[in-house]
Amino acid sequence: MSFQQAQPLDRLRFRALVEYDGTDYFGFQRQRIEQPTIQGELERVLTDLTRSPVTVTGAGRTDSGVHAMGQMISFTIAWQHGVDALRNALNANLPNDIGILKIEEAAPSFHPRYDARRRAYKYSIYNAAVRSPLRRRYSWYVQRQLDLDNMNQAAALLVGTRDFATFGTPPQGINTVREIYQAYFYRQQEFILFFVEANAFLYRMVRSLVGSLAAVGDGSWSVTDFADALYACDRRRSGSAAPPQGLSLVSVVYEERETE
């Protein structure tokens, strides 16, 4: 009796839009020691589904406690059941605080980090007289009233191509020059929200910016103080970094389309 040898499945490249609550994770990137991460959970589930080791790459390495509603990932697997089935299988097996919003096939060369043209973050400050326990996981509580006009005057200085060495360190190499396209604050009831979009960000850059801009808002710094710190290109001149729970990766934009 002869048996027909099973043909190996083609390995396909996929890109997926991921949303997660980062409260209980040590950031996106897999850690050397056994700590829960977003990448680690995604790889665990994909490995279980395909019965083969899978490496996931993300567009942004969000810090411990930081959230995302627009993280883009990619991975290559052998899969024959279609993208909807893959999305459903992932969502059925991932923890409740990680979800796949969208998935599609990608070019074999697609890289979610290096192919990205723009990234946007939002930071949420809960600016009220009394703290809110229900909002503590997703915002920074600041009791002192913040001056939105002064904060926006300072934020306007960020737009353009600048050396942002004061507010972060490069994830690799030594280049600290980035281009910011938009940076502004707006108010929604008790919340003050900061939106910033750039071609790329330094490590801890957004949180350092928010902490320094909040110092402008509460009167600890003037707009001139902020400008002096920005142009000093000296990490020691940054204000204290805002805590991670108020920060969310909103979107990653690629040349051919925008992911929202």
Catalytic residue IDs: 63
What's 93's DSSP letter?
H
- The DSSP-derived string for 66-89 is -EEEEEEEEEEEE--S-HHHHHHH
- The DSSP-derived string for 213-251 is HHHHHTTSS-HHHHHHHHHHT-GGGS-PPPPGGGEEEEE
The whole-angstrom distance between residue 91's C-alpha and the CA centroid of its chain comes to 20
> What are the φ/ψ torsions at residue 27 (nearest 5 degrees)?
90, 180
The whole-angstrom distance between residue 26's C-alpha and the CA centroid of its chain comes to 13
Q: Helix (H, G, I), strand (E, B), or coil: what is residue 106?
A: coil
CA triple 151-28-118, angle to 5 deg: 50
Q: Helix (H, G, I), strand (E, B), or coil: what is residue 151?
A: helix
Instruction: Report how far residue 153's alpha carbon sits from residue 166's, in angstroms, rounded to the nearest whole number.
Output: 18
What's 161's DSSP letter?
E
Which residues share a beta bridge with 120?
197, 251
Q: Helix (H, G, I), strand (E, B), or coil: what is residue 189?
A: coil
Of 209, 207, 215, 218, which is closest to residue 242 (Cα–Cα)?
207
